[in-house]
Amino acid sequence: MKHERNHWISRQIVTAYPHSLIGLEDLTHIRERRKRKHGKKATVKQRRANRHASQWAFAELQGYVAYKALLSGSITVKVDAYHTSQCCPRCGHTAEENRPHKGLLFSCQVCHLILHADLIGARNVALRTLLARQDWVSTGVLSARPNVSDGEAKAAQRRRYAEVRWSPDTSPRAFAGGL
């Protein structure tokens, strides 16, 4: 069932964006990075979410997207997942307080942008993918995952992320005449 669902999701993504650069969050060690409540402190809802997250095959889905993208003339690139759902794509303010009660609502404490946290994360992944494309154009090299094992290199990359902003002017709807 999960394999079929991952195949279906990956096919939908690749079909919707042929001949594209597709950005994916680097979810390596996601289960170890996630703080989950265990035992009696966790609510029924939290336990259900934990169970669902632990059963989802992240790497499998990314693999399916990657190989189907190549078959359709697209390329995938993994981008750093660091604070993608806590960083405001409009003003760049990053804080845990942007996610009240760690819920699904994103509310920027500086510019007051309010949006679903998953959409905020998706916008930040898109911006980071555009940076990878910019690097590719300037260097001629597209790294599937930039070498940022060094702390200074990682800090420099994250500073670049903080400089990129989402603008409604770049939205496809803006070019179509509406917002």
Mean per-residue pLDDT over the chain, rounded: 81
Mean pLDDT, to the nearest integer, of 127-133? 90
Tokens of 5: 């669902």
Give the separation between CA 156 and CA 154, rounded to whole angstroms.
Answer: 5
Q: What are 149-158's contacts with CB under 8 Å, separation 24+? A: 154/80, 157/80, 158/80, 158/82
Query: 87: which residues sit within 8 A by CB, 6+ positions away?
Result: 93, 94, 98, 120, 124, 161, 162
The CA-CA-CA angle for residues 21, 24, 30, to 5°, reads 165
Phi, psi of 55, rounded to the nearest 5 degrees: -95, -15
pLDDT given at position 38: 52
Domain ranges of the chain: 1-79, 82-168
Of 37 and 32, the one with more pLDDT: 32
Residue 39 scores a pLDDT above 80: no
Tokens, residue 16: 């919707």
Q: 129, 119, 140, 118: which is closest to 164 by C-alpha?
A: 129
Q: How confident is the model at residue 12 (pLDDT cuts 50, 70, 90)?
A: very high
Q: Return the bridge partners of 94, or none.
A: 87
Q: Which two tokens stand for residue 150?
A: 């060094």
Per residue in 92-115, pLDDT (tens digit) is: 899 999 999 888 999 999 999 999
The CA-based dihedral angle spanning residues 33, 38, 43, 44, taken in that order and rounded to the nearest 10 degrees: 100
Backbone angles phi, psi at 105, to 5 degrees: -95, 130
pLDDT digits (tens, 9 = 90+) for 51-72: 665 656 778 889 999 999 999 9
